[in-house]
């Protein structure tokens, strides 16, 4: 008996998920034993709906990829509330996406700036996300030692993830 006779066919390890009558199967189930339990599922559109689902590169790229921008200290687009320096990203965001709250990281000259988990609030932080989800505001130095007055020679790095609107 050869090795090939002892192994099941590829369809025993990779099979189409069952669907209702009339629906085309778009999900693939993976197992590691002949006729075994499903251990992973790849959805046709790449979207994960459970912890055992795999995702495709397109799904990952649009949801988990970080956009990274570098600015000089004097490259903010305007001055906002609380005398904050505003860095505008509306033209840099993918169509139908916005900056995802909680994913913004800002560092100036290598120093990590402080923000809350909910980054929409401007209180007791170095930077915050605008309510439009398109701007990052770096606060000027204020009471409590938070914020930073940016100098033209400062290097500002801002990174974030996007989310679908």
* pLDDT band, very low/low/confident/very high, at 81 (cuts 50, 70, 90): low
* pLDDT band, very low/low/confident/very high, at 23 (cuts 50, 70, 90): low
Residue 77 and residue 157 in one domain: yes
**Listed residues 18, 36, 61: the one ending a domain:** 61
Q: Domain range holding 147? A: 66-164
pLDDT at 147: 86
pLDDT at 1 over 60: no
User: Per residue in 137-146, is it b (16+ CB within 10 Å) or e — as a string?
Assistant: bbbeeeeeeb
Residue 50 and residue 112 in one domain: no
Render pLDDT for 133-147 as a digit per residue (tens, 0 to 9).
999 999 988 877 888
Residue 85 and residue 124 in one domain: yes
How many domains are there within the chain?
Answer: 2
Residue 37 and residue 90 in one domain: no
Residue 41 and residue 70 in one domain: no
Residue 100 and residue 53 in one domain: no
* CA within 13 Å, CB half, 37: 2
- Rounded Cα distance between 108 and 155, Å, is 6
Residue 83 and residue 144 in one domain: yes
The residue length of the chain stands at 165
Residue 35 and residue 73 in one domain: no
Q: What is the mean pLDDT of residues 58-65?
A: 70
* pLDDT band, very low/low/confident/very high, at 2 (cuts 50, 70, 90): very low
Sign of torsion, CA 136 142 143 145?
positive
∠ at Cα 122 (116, 125), nearest 5°?
A: 50
Residue 124 and residue 72 in one domain: yes
């Amino acid at each position: 008996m050869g090795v090939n006779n002892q192994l099941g066919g590829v369809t025993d390890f990779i099979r189409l998920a069952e669907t209702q009558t009339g629906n085309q199967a778009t999900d693939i189930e993976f197992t590691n034993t002949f006729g075994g339990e499903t251990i992973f599922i790849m959805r046709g559109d790449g979207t994960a709906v459970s912890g055992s689902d795999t995702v495709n590169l397109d799904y990952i790229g649009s949801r988990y990829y970080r956009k990274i921008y570098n600015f000089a200290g004097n490259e903010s687009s305007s001055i906002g509330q609380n005398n904050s320096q505003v860095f505008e990203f509306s033209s840099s965001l993918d169509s139908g996406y916005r900056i995802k709250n909680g994913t913004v990281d800002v560092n100036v000259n290598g120093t990590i700036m402080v923000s809350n988990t909910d980054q929409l609030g401007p209180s007791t932080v170095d930077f915050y996300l605008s309510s439009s989800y398109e701007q990052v505001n770096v606060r000027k130095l204020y009471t409590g030692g938070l914020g930073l007055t940016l100098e033209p020679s400062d290097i500002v790095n801002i990174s974030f993830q996007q989310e679908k609107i």
